[in-house]
Structure 1
Amino acid sequence: MTDTAEKLDYSKTLYLPETEFPMRAGLPQKEPETVARWQQMDLYRQLRTSAVGREKFVLHDGPPYANGNIHIGHALNKILKDVITRSFQMRGYDSNYVPGWDCHGLPIEWKIEEENYRAKGKAKPDLKQPDAMIEFRKECRAYAEKWIKIQGDEFKRLGIVGDFDNPYLTMNFHAESRIAGELLKIAMSGQLYRGSKPIMWSVVERTALAEAEVEYHDYESDTIWVKFPVVGAAELSDAHVVIWTTTPWTIPGNRAVAYSPKVAYGLYEVTEAVNDFGPQPGEKLIFADALAEESAAKAKLTFKKLRGVSADEMAALTLAHPLAGLGGGYEFAVPLLAGDHVTDDAGTGFVHTAPSHGREDFEAWMSSVKELEAKGIDTRIPFPVDDSGTYTADAPGFEGARVMDDNGKKGDANDRVIKALIERNALFARGRLKHSYPHSWRSKKPIIFRNTPQWFVYMDKDLKDGTTLRTRALSAIDDTRFVPAGGQNRLRAMIEQRPDWVLSRQRAWGVPICVFADEEGNVLQDEEVNKRILEAFDTEGADAWFAEGAKERFLGNGHDHGKWTQVMDILDVWFDSGSTHTFTLEDRPDLKWPADVYLEGSDQHRGWFHSSLLESAATRGRAPYDTVVTHGFTMDEKGQKMSKSLGNVVSPQDVMKDAGADILRLWVMTTDYWEDQRLGKTIIQTNVDAYRKLRNTIRWMLGTLAHDEGEEIAYAELPELEKLMLHRLYELDKLVREGYDAFEFKKITRALIDFANIELSAFYFDIRKDALYCDAPSSPRRRASLAVIREIFEATVTWLAPMLPFTTEEAWLSLKPDAVSVHLEQFPQVPAEWKNDAVAEKWAKIRKVRSVVTGALEIERKDKRIGSSLEAAPVVYVADAELLKALEGLEFEETCITSAITITAGEGPETAFRLPEVAGVSVDPKLAEGTKCARSWRVTTDVGSDPAWPDVSARDAAALTELAKLGKL
């Protein structure tokens, strides 16, 4: 043994991985440092500069509400948006993300009233006074500004990069002017009108609500069956038509009863009754035949059918109001109206019709107005309930009773109506029913339907070009791409069925419906007046509408101030957010209109997607987006809705504190996000484990590439194994790009994680470690492998960068300390020559045979006959001719990580190891013959063949000699 060999520590002669990229990520500590670095270097501005001249790709941010810390739904939403914008930026686009906030509306008003007034025992100011209104609005503005800053910082902590220094805000003066301008466009085109319809009304919040502001919860209602006496029909003069309703308080508003000509009805006589009130023997009642017995059971009676009642008889009937004689206010005739909405599935086959309190009731009444007026019936629709849920003079005998109190609790209206019906022998039966009922999504309290004057946009008015707002919107839906595709049918169904768009809210904080109207509701159409309004809003904000002297200022001298009334209602905030495309996409030169993508939760089919579509269709004739992407909602690990009361809420702040934002992002990327997802400790840990494996693969590449000198190797000179890996990169490049285009992030993540774990760590890297660690510096095999690993690293890290921005930034700068940021890079352009189907097909066969070898050796290790695969020299029997041919010329021992291997044609002995899924291959495990190399640990017969290095193999001796000549020992 030479002196050199005697003193040498062979481990120091190996090209073992060397990196400062730690195995333990420490994301909660490192990520905030990265966020600070991005802000210091102004990464957002550098991204914009680098993208100058590129084609724009615009994802328009649906605005979160500026009220409270972000929750897991916000995190899911923003991460998805960030991944999309980053992925397009890294594929050659100018993909600019501009965050935005919805700043107006009731929740902020409530907070101001609660924190600045109720909590301090102060009375809310009289908002009819201009100074008080403007001061109150300033308080609302300050509250929104506070939460915009807090939420913005929380979004940046998630790794979101965007123009947070210049976001869009619906409360910016220019935005308020543009929102008002969109309203005035609609008004000038004749689409805006004042009408009186039953709308959803929050008694608690004292305002009209849009469908998007309503959610459904279980609610227990009083239910009643009510008898309406038949009048003016000789054969049925002593009979009653019976209706069923879950809203007894609407009976004073009843003006008709609906029936269906398609339903079979009958006249029934009570034969026996066991009840404290209601029908008695001898009474005659009319029911749908299919519901008669069920209804009788509710009243604890039995009856017999006397005869059928035809549709013609129904059409000729007139009824008396069941409250007739009470206060003299119900002495009118109650007609029967034919209605398609009437069925015999439930109830009695008749529908109580109160046009003040229901959309279908209203439409049935209005469609019959001419016919009813011809019969001398008063068709005026009453206003039985005011904004506080209190009966008005239009509900004689019940004035002052409340449907609901200020806290959303049931008032005394139901009980008083039921009592009055009993007194008049008009109650057939009563009960209680638990059913789904609309609630305000803000207050979580039940709502009512009440007739009230509001401002609407027509859905079906001819817009003088052969279209209506509804047909324009439906056409735009057909022209829009939906991901997932089911979103298209959902939005279409909502547009097809929706009533006219109610725009007005009776609140203070928002953009006003800045029009002037006369007594008939006609809107002043004067472009000069509009110009004055919009210019004032642009410089002073919408507060200008409420200032002292605003009416005189805007009307000027050209109009009779006594004729025109200044409308003081506030615009529905959905109109605000539906208009964001105007002052964001159209007015910012760094964006474009329409947007390529809108992405929000699936509830926004009735929210932001919906209002944006209607607003843009009304003013521009098409949608403001080309693609709509929707995500589901996050449940706990059991699939239950998260709630504080259940203690199952997972906050993004806690996940980032414990595990890091990249773990949260990895969870988002591995879910079927378009459906409801689950999240909890176990799921987080699963993602931590997956992340750790992925990180270790990246770490190994970094350590190995520490020995890379950046040499480029011609494709033709690469070994087949390296060509196989480049072929896989070619395939993955196609999958990754198509996946990002299709917003199928799980597909990308799954493919890259499997590639890292199965094809790299457990296959390619495992095979090449011996060459990379032990081969001589000049080894073509080692040099080729380093070149390919460099390609693999650059491809996988850039592909992952949109998803895991913190980890990939750390890895990229670890390898390339002179680089600025991985996020300023582009996805690699994969050469077409890397596509090599022949090599892929061949290696698929090789890997089949390899799987049998590794299976056999695993048993040997398990039974402790070998310690590592390098102690083995198996004999491999191959009866399959195609598989045998694939192994020709291959150093198969290197592929199987054994010291030697023998390949024999034909079937092996019965005792040989086999895998059922690989026919024609068997393995007889044998121990390797020779001596263990002190450097590479391979067992060979040529250890000591070089006297200078007596305890190593010939390959290792040659490597040591070369290293010695280079002065590296």
Structure 2
Amino acid sequence: MTDTFEKLDYSKTLYLPQTEFPMRAGLPEKEPVTVARWQKMDLYKRLRESAAGREKYVLHDGPPYANGNIHIGHALNKILKDVITRSFQMRGYDSNYVPGWDCHGLPIEWKIEEKYRAAGKNKDEVEINEFRKECREFAAGWIGIQAEEFQRLGVIGDFKNPYTTMNFHAEARIAGELLKFAMSGQLYRGSKPVMWSVVERTALAEAEVEYQDYESDTIWVKFPVADGASVVDLVVGQGTRFPEAKDVPLSPRSLAEDGASVVIWTTTPWTIPGNRAVSFSPRIAYGLYEVTAAENDFGPQPGEKLIFADALAEDAAAKAKVTLLRVRGVAADELGNLTLSHPLKGFGGGYQFGVPMIAGDHVTDDAGTGFVHTAPGHGREDFDAWMDAAKDLHARGIDPAIPFTVDDGGFFTKDAPGFGPDREGGAARVIDDNGKKGDANKAVIEELIRHAALFARGRLKHSYPHSWRSKKPIIFRNTPQWFVYMDKQLGDGTTLRSRALQAIDDTRFVPAAGQNRLRAMIEDRPDWVLSRQRAWGVPIAIFADADGNVLKDEAVNARIVEAFEAEGADAWFAEGARERFLGSRANEAWTQVMDILDVWFDSGSTHVFTLEDRPDLKWPADVYLEGSDQHRGWFHSSLLESCGTRGRAPYNTVVTHGFTMDEEGRKMSKSLGNTVVPQDVMKQSGADILRLWVMTTDYWEDQRLGKNVLQTNIDAYRKLRNTIRWMLGTLAHDDGEEVALAEMPELERLMLHRLSELDALVRKGYDDFEFKRITRALIDFMVVELSAFYFDIRKDVLYCDAPSSIRRKAAVHVVRALFDCVVKWLAPMLPFTTEEAWLERNPGAVSVHLEQFPDVPAAWRDEALAEKWRKVRQVRSVVTGALELERAKKTIGSSLEAVPVVHMSDAVLEDALSGIDLAEISITSDLVISHDAALADAFVLREVPGVAVVIEKAEDRGLVKCARSWRYTGDVGSDAAFADVSARDAAALHELKALGRL
């Protein structure tokens, strides 16, 4: 009998891992197959069916723009949304994700115009609805492409029935929302300075502007005092900023008689023709200065009297290359009574009006002169200051009308005499069609020099607003537009602003800083300008009279919405539309408004035609998630639209992510060649690698991505995959037998306790959208606690123990629980890998994504056991440290060749070892606990005092290596039937033989 088994291949008697789950993932090849499988089986539909009747959890998708392939920002955004949706679906909710697209607006219109220009066609010669049809087709094409790319990322959603802002129902609902604002009196036509893109010929919203460095012409301009109060009884300024200056006695003459001028500074010389006032601050100290010396060709000359903020006079003098003598102080009361002459007075027969001095809160003495040139048609603060002073202006005989000095093409108009159409050679231009500086600045500066009104000139590089689409500088331009009031009383004691601020307070923000950011924007924002001068979008579907009064007729409104529902917004531009909608009122003097709605109103209304109108969703949404720039974009417009029509925000929670930079922390750009293209990453490494990067990054802040970062995630993925692979291999021998908790060894109960801890952490992490916390915990658990600890220890039991071994059954039971928990917890994050693993483990299953997170029994939690094993692992760390040192010295190869002698002098740690086989835990063949004093060369760890270890060789202690388990024991050969194995292994072999497995 002995001879028979001497030649037995013991490896075939072991429960070695067996699995078809490969170590090499092959994600780029496998993932598209999985996507196709999900689509064929209609996983989305099955998810809805499985969740029927559950409480809904809705993440409302902020619509990407349908005009190009997705970029890394899209990938980050959609992965985060998919993880949230999946995580709630697997925790007992009906978490339905409906993707959406923003389809209207300038970028698409621009593309069609480019196509026209290339073909020599003129857009204005094409029937508007034909043009709109081409825009619609363009958007539809890109929706299809982006939908495929999003699904390739692993995103599951209703891609068969997404929402789009150009859907007829959506256009009807958007128009209906606008009409609600009109009927409630919140919509009005006004003339205000708005951000205007000359290149794109349209007004822009705050969210459509980005800031770039720009070099501006700067000028200091003299505004002569025309008249004002006498200086008698005014306080003399004290002190001086100039060594040679002395305060002089007051003269009874006025500043006008003194020939004084107020000096302003501006970075927009072209706005001087639009000047109507000069603003000052009562908080600033001003002085009257006399030029005593000058070294310039065109600037101020000796004897001139000029007024500056005292803090800025010296800097201004340096710019003009003059020497100034401070004559006296000038008080705020005196400034407020002054009227100035326009520096271009008489030019082109214009500028004959008086220029009042007005107080303004926006005036500082940080830069310039302490005075602000105020052109109410070219700046919000200028406009506000002018309007605040309007009543006083009437009393002073000053016309408060605001001129329209620049047209939509950036050309000066007739309201800028001498620079407009009457100018020889044609009107001067601020910016041309290519976004380049026109000749306006040059023309104004030259005329100021001729009028001896220029004090100094220069250049300044500063941050300046640009259109985020054309990347070209914009201007502020007074033009009639349609606005929504921010501060009009709405009849219930609230305003749109107050409602929005209250809604912000009622909303959860992740991260919390987003709340203050959005609040600050709402607190300071002007009225919402809704109109755009374009062709592709939902029209401002109202009728108005010559004074801007809106027709409020429910019957007309109903006809508009009904037509849009059936035909889309094209109905507004169809022949006979005015008569069709007005009906019996067509003979009245109502004008059909042809402006297009701000696309942010479109996207701000998505909650209406998506959340409210789809029965598979709900209003308000549980969460909105977008990039941090959407505090001034989609979060902002959705908040205003919903508060204006429904009195609250359309969301309960707002989550924001940062932007993706390269590995150096630089913004990604094609010109730098540092972009990471998600399609390339998926082709080379797989979508799950990209998803793992998203899950391991601090996405709330700006993230970094590049080759090295990706490699780090590839390495982490391999470790996760190999851990899953080992569990699958081990579970190939799982017969499904359960082991009662009380019968399990402590080590198994410790692993179940850890699952209980992780269950709480994972669930809270998903609730808090802290995905990095989950991922880090699971990676550490799988790599450190499982692969390098529990699995390493239990391989001997799992591979070698007899089929009847309770230790082996308990270990298999725990590995089963570990696999079930870990794979389900990771499923929202790594959907492809976990699907592959789940189907390998459960060939008859449909999808891991139809499963629920495991229900972890409360009985698994055992804090006392965890504390005991914390001490056990402290002792073990000293033993394994000593073993590593011996391996490094090549004294031993495998740890099974060693018998550690553990010298214990810490009673607490020794008590913790009660009932523990420290040799098994340390993966050694034997281990001796000694209370003798340790030798000086014993291995110790400073962080674990009271433990010292000396390594002895098993062979030196007379132990023999088992041919099956490779452990060194004293009972090898005790069973004659299997003379070269230990008694434990021999017993296992007998059982296997009895079961017919040998």
Q: Is 1:367 matched with 2:396?
A: no
1:476 match: 503
Matching residue within 243, 255, 262 for 1:236: 255
Say if 2:269 is the partner of 1:248. yes
CA distance in 1, matches of 2:214, 2:970: 84
Residues 712-751 of structure 1, C-alpha deviations (whole Å, 9 max, x = no match)? 1111111100000000000000000000000000000000
Provide the secondary structure at the position in 1 that maps to 2:953: coil
Does residue 1:945 correspond to 2:974, yes or no? yes
- Does the 8 A contact of 2:904 with 2:946 survive in 1? yes
Give the equivalent residue in structure 2 for 1:516. Answer: 543
Aligned counterpart, 2:519: 492
Aligned residue number for residue 212 of structure 1: 207
Aligned-partner Cα distance in 1 for 2:526–2:22 = 60
Q: What is the match of residue 186 of structure 1?
A: 181
Give the conservation status (yes or no) of the 8 Å contact 1:907–1:921: no
Match for residue 96 of structure 2?
96
**Secondary structure class of the residue paired with 1:219:** strand
Stretch of structure 1 that moved more, 19-28 or 939-948: 939-948
How far did residue 562 of structure 1 move?
Answer: 4.3
1:311 to 319, 332, 354: 332
2:952 counterpart SS class: coil
Q: Is the 8 A contact 1:884 1:905 kept in 2?
A: no
Choose the corresponding residue for 1:646, options 668, 672, 677.
672
Render the CA deviation track for 1:231-250: whole Å, top value 9, x for unaligned: 12443121110000000000
Counterpart for residue 530 of structure 1: 557
Q: What residue identity is the alignment partner of 1:358? A: G
Q: Which amino acid aligns with 1:944?
A: G
Q: How does 1:342-361 map to 2 (within 5 A)?
A: 342-361=363-382
| Structure 2: distance between partners of 1:316 and 1:392 | 31
Structure-1 residue corresponding to 2:575: 548
* CA distance in 2: counterparts of 1:428 and 1:768, whole angstroms: 87
What are the residue-to-residue correspondences of 1:729-808 with 2, within 5 Å? 729-808=755-834
Matched residues in 2 for 1:184 and 1:906: separation? 91
Higher deviation after alignment, 344-353 or 929-938: 929-938
The equivalent residue for 1:435 is 462
Query: CA contact under 8 A between 2:656 and 2:700: conserved in structure 1?
Result: yes
Any residues of structure 2 matched to 1:41-52 within 5 Å, and which?
A: 41-52=41-52
| Aligned amino acid, residue 215 of structure 2 | E
- Check conservation: 1:711, 1:787, Cα contact below 8 A: yes
Inter-CA distance 734–137: structure 2 relative to 1 (3 Å threshold): same
**1:124 corresponds to:** 123
Q: Secondary structure, in 3 states, of the residue corresponding to 1:222?
A: strand
Q: Is the 8 A contact 2:54 2:94 kept in 1?
A: yes
CA offset digits 1:905-963 (Å, max 9, x no partner): 36422221000110110001111131111111111111101111111111111111111
In 2, Cα distance between equivalents of 1:506 and 1:840: 68
Residue 443 of structure 1 aligns to a residue whose secondary structure is: coil
Task: Answer yes or no: is 1:446 the counterpart of 2:466.
Answer: no
Which of 420, 426, 429 is the aligned partner of 1:402? 429
Aligned mates of 2:331, 2:385 — CA distance in 1: 21
Q: CA separation in 2, counterparts of 1:715 and 1:626?
A: 42
Question: How far, CA to CA, are the matches of 1:21 and 1:360 in structure 2?
Answer: 66
Q: Is the 8 A contact 2:579 2:586 kept in 1?
A: no
Q: Which residue identity does 2:436 align to in structure 1?
A: K
Q: Distance in 2 between matches of 1:36 and 1:821?
A: 13
Name the CA distance, whole Å, in 1 between partners of 2:485 and 2:113.
Answer: 34
- Deviations along 1:681-728, one digit per CA (max 9) or x if unpaired, are 000000000000000000000000000001111111111000000000
TM-superposed deviation, 1:226: 0.1
CA shift for structure 1 position 425: 0.3
Separation of aligned partners in 2, 1:240 and 1:291 = 15
SS in 1 for 2:617: coil
Q: Distance in 2 between matches of 1:126 and 1:476?
A: 47
Cα distance in 1 between the residues matched to 2:314 and 2:693: 55
CA distance in 1, matches of 2:635, 2:914: 61
Distance (whole Å) between structure 1 residues aligned to residue 175 and residue 61 of structure 2:
21
Q: What SS class does the counterpart of residue 948 from structure 1 fall into?
A: helix
Residues 1:675 and 2:675 aligned together: no
How far, CA to CA, are the matches of 1:53 and 1:459 in structure 2?
A: 41
Question: What amino acid is aligned across from residue 333 of structure 2 in structure 1?
Answer: D
Q: C-alpha separation between the residues in 1 aligned to 2:182 and 2:535? A: 21
Q: 2:220 maps to what in 1? A: 225
| Structure 1 residues 850-869: aligned runs within 5 Å | 850-869=876-895
Aligned with 1:619 (options 622, 641, 645) = 645
TM-score normalised according to structure 1 size: 0.99
- Alignment partner for residue 948 of structure 2, among 922, 932, 935? 922
The equivalent residue for 2:85 is: 85
Q: RMSD between aligned alpha carbons? A: 0.7
Aligned to 1:576: 602
Q: How far has the Cα of 1:904 moved from its partner?
A: 1.8
Residue 172 in 1 paired to residue 167 in 2?
yes
Residue 137 (structure 1) aligned with residue 158 (structure 2): no
Residue 6 of structure 1: how far off its partner (Å): 2.3
| Distance (Å, rounded) in 2 between the aligned partners of 1:287 and 1:382 | 28
Find the residue that maps to 2:934 and give its secondary structure.
coil
1:502 and 2:523 equivalent? Answer: no
* Cα distance, 1:416 vs structure 2: 0.2
Range 879-888 or range 509-518, more displaced: 879-888
CA contact (8 A) 2:77 2:627 kept: yes
Aligned AA (1:307): R
Q: CA deviation at 1:2?
A: 1.6
The alpha-carbon distance between structure 1 residues 550 and 906, as it changes in their structure 2 partners (threshold 3 A), is farther
Q: Which runs of 5+ in 1 are unaligned?
A: none
How far off is 1:370 after superposition?
1.1
Q: Deviations over 1:378-415 (max 9, x none)?
A: 11100000000000000000011000000000000000
Provide runs of 4+ in structure 1 moved above 3 Å: none
Name the amino acid aligned to 1:343: T
Is residue 927 of structure 2 the alignment partner of residue 901 of structure 1?
A: yes
Aligned pairs (5 A) from 1:864-875: 864-875=890-901
User: What residue number does 2:401 align with?
Assistant: 380
2:829 partner amino acid: M
Paired with 1:274 and 1:331, the residues of 2 have a C-alpha distance of: 31
Is it true that 1:610 corresponds to 2:636 in the alignment? yes
In the alignment, the residues of structure 1 paired with residue 621 and residue 797 of structure 2 have an alpha-carbon distance, to the nearest angstrom, of 51
| Separation of aligned partners in 1, 2:874 and 2:278 | 76
Residues 551-587 of structure 1 deviation map (CA, whole Å, 9 limit, x = unaligned): 0000001x25341000000000000000000000000
TM-score normalised per structure 2: 0.96
> For 1:888, what is the secondary structure of its paired residue?
coil
1:890 is displaced (CA, Å) by 1.5
SS in 2 for 1:56: coil
What is the match of residue 997 of structure 2? 968
Which residue of the partner structure matches residue 724 of structure 1? 750
Following the alignment from structure 2 to structure 1, what is the Cα–Cα distance between the partners of residues 429 and 667? 33
Write the letter of the residue equivalent to 2:547: E
Kept in 2: contact 1:907–1:920 (CA 8 A): no
CA distance in 2, matches of 1:711, 1:696: 25
Which of these residues, 490, 495, 499, is aligned with residue 463 of structure 1?
490
Distance 2:650 2:586 in 1: 39
The separation in 1 between residues aligned to 2:124 and 2:314, in whole angstroms, is 58
Distance 2:762 2:389 in 1: 60
SS of the equivalent of 2:864 reads helix
Count of residue pairs brought into register by the alignment: 963
User: Comparing 921-930 with 750-759, which one deviates more in the overlay?
Assistant: 921-930
- Return 5+ residue gaps in structure 2 as ranges: 229-252, 421-426
Query: 144, 157, 182: which is aligned to 1:162?
Result: 157
Amino acid at match of 1:87: S
Contact 2:532 2:597 in 1 (8 A): yes
Aligned to 1:423: 450
Determine if contact 1:480/1:628 at 8 Å carries over to the other structure. yes
